[in-house]
């Protein structure tokens, strides 16, 4: 179980790591506004991920403030969300959390409490994990991003977009449900990467006219068998066995109407004799790209 970090030195190290890892084009002297306040500061625009960010010191905490920005920010911007992080101790009244796993890896997390209720249900397919506080109490938190992830900025952009849509009253996006049940060995970091692979694959399928809903089934017009995908994100034997077993069982029950397709990391070996196609994915920056997808759909 993830542990909430309360020691001042570890929190300070985590905030410095967060500040150093985030990327973006600086815009100086921007006037930020929110309900009941404003400030003028330097923000950083993460162009490819559609948001800006700034780390602002407060009295007893640091605030990571962020705003939705598909276009270059102007001289005045509205804050979409902020993650407040206490400089010492653990405060359940503050939404921001620095958590650590049993290897010492650090994560940026959020309690899920926003200005209005229902965010947990809105983002049901987020990476929600139990966390243990220093006093022994357990709660659930949204894992926003591992602080050591090369995809930190992309994951934060997904969080900002989710908060923006939630505050605007949008309906939850359909869950692509490409993932089989996660392996019990999967870390929170692997789960975060899994969501990015899932989203990228869904976008590629949508470009090709393959439309999906809440089930694993993606239907196409015509008489072709319906593709059924199972995603292996971390390559653990248990996860691979579940994915292959799920596809094999679905194919056996499908009576020719289902075309099973496995999606697996490019570096995963010993998959050459599967009875169904395997699409390989690799990372290009913070985006998953797929090899063999068109052949598998043909």
Mean pLDDT, rounded, of the chain: 85
Q: Which two tokens stand for residue 91?
A: 């405060």
98 within some domain: yes
d(C-alpha 212, C-alpha 8), whole Å: 46
Judge if 203 and 150 occupy the same domain. Answer: no
Judge if 9 and 67 occupy the same domain. Answer: yes
Across the range 240-252, mean pLDDT stands at 84
pTM over 0.85: yes
Residue where a domain terminates, one of 167, 201, 232 = 167
Range of the domain at 155: 2-167
Query: Is the predicted pLDDT of residue 256 greater than 70, yes or no?
Result: no
Helices and strands per DSSP (H, E), number in the chain: 6, 17
Query: Is the predicted pLDDT of residue 103 greater than 70, yes or no?
Result: yes
Whether 145 and 155 have beta carbons less than 8 Å apart is answered as yes
Helix (H, G, I), strand (E, B) or coil at 4: strand
213: confidence class by pLDDT, cuts 50, 70, 90 = very low
Q: Give residue 178's pLDDT.
A: 55
Q: Give residue 220's pLDDT.
A: 42
137: confidence class by pLDDT, cuts 50, 70, 90 = very high
Q: Which residue has the higher pLDDT, 171 or 54?
A: 54
204 within some domain: yes
Q: Give residue 174's pLDDT.
A: 63
Residue where a domain terminates, one of 116, 136, 167 = 167
d(C-alpha 142, C-alpha 150), whole Å: 19
Judge if 159 and 216 occupy the same domain. Answer: no
> At a CB cut-off of 8 Å and minimum separation 6, what does 232 contact?
180, 239, 240, 243, 262, 263, 264, 265, 268
176 within some domain: no
181 within some domain: no
Listing DSSP states for 54-88 in one string gives: EEEE-SSEEEEEEEE-SS---SEEE--EEEEEESS
H runs (alpha helix) in 125-218: 152-167, 188-207
Query: Is the predicted pLDDT of residue 149 greater than 50, yes or no?
Result: yes
Across the range 109-127, mean pLDDT stands at 90
Nearest alpha carbon to residue 213 among 173, 171, 258: 173
Across the range 79-86, mean pLDDT stands at 92
Q: Give residue 155's pLDDT.
A: 96
Helix (H, G, I), strand (E, B) or coil at 189: helix
Q: Give residue 60's pLDDT.
A: 84
- % of the chain with per-residue pLDDT over 90: 48
146 within some domain: yes
Query: Is the predicted pLDDT of residue 50 greater than 90, yes or no?
Result: yes
Q: Give residue 179's pLDDT.
A: 52
| Residue whose pair of structure tokens reads 């869904």 in the numeric block | 202
Q: Give 257-298 pLDDT, tens digit per residue.
A: 778 889 999 988 767 678 888 999 999 999 999 999 999 888
Residue where a domain terminates, one of 103, 134, 167 = 167
Strands 37-46 and 25-34, sheet pairing: antiparallel
Q: How many CB atoms lie within 10 A of CB 178?
A: 21
Whether 244 and 274 have beta carbons less than 8 Å apart is answered as yes
Number of independent structural domains in the chain: 2
Q: Which residue has the higher pLDDT, 126 or 208?
A: 126
Judge if 202 and 109 occupy the same domain. Answer: no
The region of weakest confidence among 20-34, 100-114, 175-189, 259-273 is: 175-189
Query: Is the predicted pLDDT of residue 254 greater than 80, yes or no?
Result: no
């Amino acid at each position: 179980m993830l542990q909430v970090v309360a020691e001042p030195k570890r929190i300070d190290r985590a905030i410095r790591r967060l500040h150093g890892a985030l990327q973006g084009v600086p815009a100086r002297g921007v006037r930020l506004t929110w309900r009941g306040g404003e400030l003028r500061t330097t923000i950083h625009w993460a162009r490819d991920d559609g948001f800006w960010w700034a780390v602002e010191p407060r009295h007893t905490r640091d605030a990571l403030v962020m705003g939705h920005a598909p276009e270059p920010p102007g001289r005045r911007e509205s804050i979409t969300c902020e993650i407040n992080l206490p400089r010492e101790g653990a405060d359940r009244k503050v939404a921001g959390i620095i958590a650590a796993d049993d290897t010492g890896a650090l994560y940026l997390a959020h309690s899920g409490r926003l200005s209005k209720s229902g965010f947990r249900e809105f983002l049901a397919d987020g990476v929600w994990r139990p966390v243990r506080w220093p006093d022994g109490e357990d709660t659930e938190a949204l894992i926003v991003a591992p602080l050591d992830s090369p995809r930190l900025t992309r994951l934060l952009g997904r969080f900002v977009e989710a908060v923006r849509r939630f505050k605007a009253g949008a309906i939850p996006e359909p869950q692509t449900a490409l993932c089989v049940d996660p392996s019990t060995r999967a870390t929170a970091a692997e789960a975060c990467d899994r969501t990015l692979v899932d989203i990228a694959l869904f976008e590629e399928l949508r470009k090709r006219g393959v439309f999906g809903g809440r089930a694993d089934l993606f239907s196409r017009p015509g008489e072709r068998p319906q593709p059924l995908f199972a995603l292996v994100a971390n390559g653990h034997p248990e996860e691979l066995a579940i994915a292959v077993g799920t596809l094999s069982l679905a194919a056996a029950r499908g009576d020719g109407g289902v075309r099973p397709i496995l999606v697996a990391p490019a570096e995963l070996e010993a998959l050459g004799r599967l009875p169904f196609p395997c699409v390989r994915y690799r990372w290009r920056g913070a985006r998953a790209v797929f090899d063999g997808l068109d052949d598998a759909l043909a």
